[in-house]
Structure formats: C-alpha cells, structure tokens
Structure 1
Amino acid sequence: MTWRFKAALLAASLIVVTAPASAQALVGRAENGARINAMCIGCHGIEGYRASFPQVYHVPMIAGQNVKYLAAALEAYRKGERKHPTMRGVAGSLSDQDIADLAAYYATLGKPPATEPPSKVALPGDLKDKLTACTACHGANFNNTVDASYPRLAGQHRDYLYQALKAYQTQNHALVGRGNAIMVGMAATLDDAQARAIADYLSGLPGDLRTAPQPMLH
C-alpha cells in the first residue's frame, strides 16, 4: 500500500464515522434543534471551553460542521463506538429525530467563508504528501468537503484534533477510544510528533467552524 493511498484513507477517515440509516432518512428541523440543545451549549456554546477528560483540551467547534457528519458522530457516541462518558450520556438520551434536528441546527450556525491567509505552519515533506492526498475527500482547503459525511477540519482546535487522533490509537479501554476500523489503522501509522504536526497545520487553516455562544435559557 503506497503512502499516498494510505494518506487518502487517513483523510477520509479522520474523525469520520458513517451516518446511521435512520438519521439519514429523517429530515432535520433546525428550529427544533434550537429548542433541545440545552445539553450541548454548556460545552459547545462557550468560547474557549475546555474538557477535562481524558486530557484537558478545547471541545470541538461544531457550529458550521457538516450535517451528516454531526448526525453520524452523535450516533457513534450513542452506540458506544466513540467512548466518552459525557457524550455517551448525552447521545443516549436522544431519539433519531433529536439527532437529526440538532445536526441541522448546528450546521446552520457556521460563519461565512473566511478570507484569512492559509496556514503558515511548516510541515515535514512526508506530511505534505499525505495532506495533499487528503484533499481528495476534504477538499483543497479542508473546509469544503467533497461529501457532507466527511468533517470540516480547517480551523478546528489543534488540541481537539490531536486528542481525536490519539483516541483512535487507544484500544481496549473501557472509557477512552474510538472504534472506526479504517481510522484505527491509519492513526497507528503516526508517531506523536506527526499527529501534533497534522493538528497544528489543520488548525491554522481558515474555515467555517466556530463556537456559537447561545443563551442558557430559551
């Protein structure tokens, strides 16, 4: 398997899960998602908020993320394919329609396309080749993905991106880890320095993701 092909698989699977058929068949109603997001805004609606498990890191920006990816991620937490006690508890309380509605709501909150210059983070030559191959799925700017089931990566918090890669490298742990088979294989090819370098680069790119502060009471 060539490095270019392996890199393409890495891009396609980075923090990616497959959307559940039930959620795909439902029509998400953003107005309903705005009414049921009380469990979300305590973390995802606060600028600079950091999680403390399994390490201290910024919670991901989900406003402006692709709708199909958001639904798929919630379903993965609900099924236990993604292991995180808080997210498992939240997702486990949601119906299929709730998931579709929340995904539709947060997808509408993205900012207009950014005009900032591209990331100035320098990458080793081998990682440049890998990220070039990644554009086949995530787009040339890592923001306009070729399919909405892939996550936007541009501008995401670097520490979250790093922790996501580390989660795919963690197996056979009751509370930590992610079970996407392709991503597990691809993350295993990265050493710690490479994982950090990829996270640094992607976080420096301009994109649509943001934290959307919201009132605690509707």
Structure 2
Amino acid sequence: MQRTVRLSVWLAVPFALFVPTLSALAQSALGGGGAPSGGNPLALSYRTPDPARGQQVSQSCQGCHGPGLVSRDPEVPSLAGQHFSYVQFQLAVYRAKLRPGPVMQQVAGKLSDQDIADIAAYAETLQPGPAWKTESAALRVRGAALFHVGDGPRNIIACAICHGDDGRGNNRLGVASITNLAPEYALEVLHEFKNTPEFGVPHPNAMRIALQPLTEDDLKAVAAYISSMGQ
C-alpha cells in the first residue's frame, strides 16, 4: 500500500502544477515546434522532431524496453507505437523528478529537450509489440467484455470509450495507447490510477473515477485482455 500511494503522487502533481503546459505540449506534438521553457521543467523547446535521430538516441533505451522498443519483460512497458504526446510528457516528468523511478530519472536526466522530442517521434512511428499470452482464456474473455462493453449494472464504463476498440488511444487528446501493454505493468498502472487521491484534473481523475467500481478480479481481467489484444 505504501508503494502504491507513493507512486500515485506522480499522477496528480505534474498535472496539478503544470496544466497550462499541457496545451503547449499538445501543440508541440501536433507540429507546433515546442514552447519556450521559461523555467517550467515540462515546457520543452525543440526543432521539428526527427524520428531517425530518435532511433539513434533511443539505443540505450532498448536494454530495458527491448529491441525496437518492444518489451518482452512483463513488468516493463513497450514504447513502440506509443503516442508522441504521452512519451514526451512522461520523459519530461521523469527528468524533472516528478515521477518516481531512480533508473528512469537518471536516464531522462541526460536527455535534452530535442532528445525527448526525437525519441517520442521515433516511438510513434513503430507498431505496438505482439500480444502476450494469457494463462486463462476465461479471464481474457471477462476482460474483453469489461473493456468493450463495460458493466452497466455495476456502473463500469467501457475502456474503449476513451482508448478505442483497438486500444490505441488518441494522441490529440492525450489518451495513451494500451494495446498489448506488458501484463504486470498494466495491472500496476491500473492500481495506481484507482488508488490515487481525488484531484480536479480531467484525464487522470477520469481514470480514477472509472476504475472505482472494478474489483481486484476485474482489474486482473482487464490487464489480461489489454496485454493480449492482438492475440
């Protein structure tokens, strides 16, 4: 529990403190050219993102996130196919030490604004990694139902409403791609969102609210499904 509470802080703090930055980051992700930093650690300034350079800069990332940024470690997320806005924001948050994670803080601490933009641009050009195999077909079926349909009597909203039927999310809206997300990592993130304190920022608070009706078995089922969507 203590670890969950500590981890959940990153969901609230960056958004609560830097809401004005999000619009600037979104413009950058859509080709706006980046915003001047002005002392804000999450407002990046860079030239047009270069995926080819991002491929070179991200070579060191492959030690953990896998060749071609496709992870086969169930506790480590793939970056392949992740949206520009999401990768850019997460790297900036780690670099600013607003999201816990000593390894990622150290790695991101060595990246320039341009490095972050180029890595994000490269990751977005890739296809999501392959599906993970699930041990329980029944668990996966249950997760698929919750993901695509939800459960009206229990006030469970379908994940597909925001993340799409294919789980690919939406770059413009800042909704992450979760297709074939590493299974143990997926469950950990679901726990983080569900257990984070309430705060008035749309995206993470929407996740917190949506996950409240889900039981632990529900969360495991959803994680099993999203990790194996291409199966």
TM bucket (normalised to shorter chain) is: 0.5 to 0.7
Give the 3 Å change call, closer, same or farther, for CA 66–146 of structure 1 in structure 2.
closer
Q: Write the letter of the residue equivalent to 1:86.
A: V
Once residues 58 and 126 of structure 1 are traced to their aligned partners in structure 2, the CA distance between those partners, rounded to angstroms, is 23
Alpha-carbon distance change, 101 to 191 in structure 1, aligned in 2, over 3 angstroms: same
What is the aligned-residue RMSD (CA, Å)?
3.7
Cα shift at 1:98: 1.1
Aligned partner of 1:64 among 81, 84, 93 = 81
**Pair 30,169 (structure 1): closer, same or farther in 2 beyond 3 Å:** same
* Distance apart, 1:92 and its partner CA: 2.2
| CA deviation after TM superposition for structure 1 residue 104, in Å | 0.9
Alignment of 1:46-57 (within 5 A): 46=67, 49-50=72-73, 57=74
**Pairwise CA distance, 1:169:** 4.7
8 Å CA contact 2:82–2:176 kept in 1: the answer is: yes
Quote how far apart the aligned CAs of 1:133 are.
Answer: 3.4
Q: Contact 2:187 / 2:223 at 8 angstroms: preserved in 1?
A: yes
**Displacement, 1:146?**
7.0
Whether contact under 8 Å (2:71, 2:129) holds in the other structure is: no
State yes or no: 1:161 paired with 2:186. Answer: yes
1:28-64 Cα offsets, whole Å, 9 max, x none, are: 11122122224311101257654xxxxxx43111112
User: What is the aligned counterpart of 2:142 among 118, 123, 142?
Assistant: 123
Equivalent residue pairs, number = 176
2:57 counterpart residue number: 36
1:162–1:199 contact (8 Å) kept in structure 2? yes
Amino acid at match of 1:160: Y
Question: Partner letter of residue 41 of structure 1?
Answer: Q
Residue 160 of structure 1 deviates from its aligned partner by 1.3
Q: How does 1:170-189 map to 2 (within 5 A)?
A: 180-189=204-213
TM-score, normalised to structure 2's length? 0.60
Matched residue SS, 1:89: helix
Which of these residues, 86, 92, 96, is aligned with residue 75 of structure 1? 92
What letter corresponds to residue 135 of structure 1 in structure 2?
A
Kept after mapping to 2: 8 A contact 1:22/1:96: no
SS of residue in 2 equivalent to 1:133: coil
Instruction: Measure how far apart 1:102 and its partner are.
Output: 0.6
Tell whether the 8 Å contact from 1:136 to 1:146 is kept in structure 2 after alignment. Answer: no
In structure 2, what is the equivalent of residue 192 of structure 1? 216
Structure 1 gaps of 5+ residues are 1-12, 51-56, 173-179, 208-218
Which stretches in structure 2 are left out of the alignment for 5+ residues?
A: 1-10, 29-33, 35-45, 132-136, 198-203
Indicate if the aligned counterparts of 1:58 and 1:159 stay in contact, CA closer than 8 A: yes
TM-score where L is the length of structure 1: 0.63
Which residue in 2 is equivalent to 1:141? 166
Alignment deviations for residues 114-146 of structure 1 (CA, whole Å, 9 cap, x no partner):
9xxxx9722177664268633232222213647
Q: Tell me which amino acid in the other structure corresponds to 1:61.
A: S
